[in-house]
Amino acid sequence: MNNWNDLFALILIVFAIYLVLSFCFFLITRYLKKKRINDRYFALIKKMRLFYKPIAWMIVIAGFISLDPITHGLVILLIAGFSYRQLGNYISGLFIRSSTMVVAGTLVQAGKIRGRINRIGSLGMVLGTDQGERWVWYRSFDRAGFTLISNQTNVQQRAIYLKTELKKESLLNLIFDHPILALGKASNLKALESENTYLLHYTLVRGAQHEDFINYLHDNKVMTNQTEKFES
């Protein structure tokens, strides 16, 4: 990147690609609905649309920094520092929103918060609770753990914290050895800053009991909790 014209051209290219992809996604979605093809293809399209925006922003920011690495790099660091909480909410939201169950009408249980999704935003979502509408940040879901219950199928997606001496690969093998997880549904295991601690998002097969899976983990020396802070 040599000058501002190059950066402007990069922005136009990224925006043009976004328009083309949006049009293609629209046509593909209509085709899939018409043919009544499996929902996992809709989920794949949703994820591609969801993650294209942050990737596009990273490309533009990288081009901006390349014009003057020191000055522009400091500017980006300052902006990132002041918007740290918003960035954290946005990143947490990317993984939460990628779930096929995050749609209007899904029942959400996160700590003491319980309600149905009314609106979904980039930084959080609006839940309809017994006390009225409530805005909830995505990071609140990650801190408290959450359960998603489909309004149509009663399938449940949950998030719990795990603590174990097992390596991540061994833990993944252990998790997927249990038949309670719904095949074809998104599951995600994320290592956290705390040592040997993970955040697991998983989907139960219809009619399965959450307690069965928890007991299975306990039997294999994996501690579980609704928050990141485990008792000593």
What residue type is 172 in one-letter code?
L
Each residue of 9-38: pLDDT tens digit?
888 998 898 888 888 877 776 766 665 555
pLDDT for res 155: 59
Q: Residue 5 pairs with which residues in a beta bridge?
A: none
pLDDT for res 183: 47
Q: What are phi and psi of 193, to 5 degrees?
A: -65, -35
Instruction: Using the predicted structure, report yes or no on whether residue 178 has a pLDDT greater than 50.
Output: yes
Instruction: Using the predicted structure, report yes or no on whether residue 167 has a pLDDT greater than 70.
Output: yes
Percent of the chain beyond pLDDT 90? 1
Q: How many Cα atoms occupy the beta-carbon half-sphere of 141 within 13 Å?
A: 32
Please provide the average confidence, as pLDDT, over all residues in the chain.
78
Each residue of 55-81: pLDDT tens digit?
888 999 988 888 888 888 899 999 888
DSSP 182: P
Separation of alpha carbons 128 and 135, rounded Å? 9
